Amino acid sequence: MVQEHHPLAKDFPEFKDKIHALKTGNAHFAKLERDYEELDKAIVRLENGVEHSSSAELEQKKLQRVTLKDELYSMLKR
């Protein structure tokens, strides 16, 4: 099964406008969002076999993604 990239606006459509506003007006949020997007794309490449790594490395990347997503979500809820 092919895995897809999940940008924040797709996962949190109710925050689409706020995501855009924070990306342009909050440097910390913008950096975290870029890091999240890059990490998510890397995970998708690994899961789809485009790139290869150990399962431990993949799991660590997934944990990092969850941590970033949680932090971004808490910023969106403020």
Q: What is the CA radius of gyration of the chain?
A: 13
Q: How confident is the model at residue 3 (pLDDT cuts 50, 70, 90)?
A: confident
Rounded CA-CA distance 24/45 in Å is 27
Per-residue pLDDT of 10-67, as tens digits, reads 999 999 999 999 999 999 999 999 999 999 999 999 999 888 889 999 999 999 999 9
- The yes-or-no verdict on residue 2 having pLDDT over 80 is no
Burial grade of 23 (CB within 10 A; 0-12, 13-18, 19 or more) = middle
Rounded CA-CA distance 68/66 in Å is 5
Q: Where are the domains of the chain?
A: 31-78
Q: How confident is the model at residue 6 (pLDDT cuts 50, 70, 90)?
A: confident
- Whether the predicted model's global pTM rises above the 0.85 cut: yes
Rounded CA-CA distance 33/61 in Å is 15
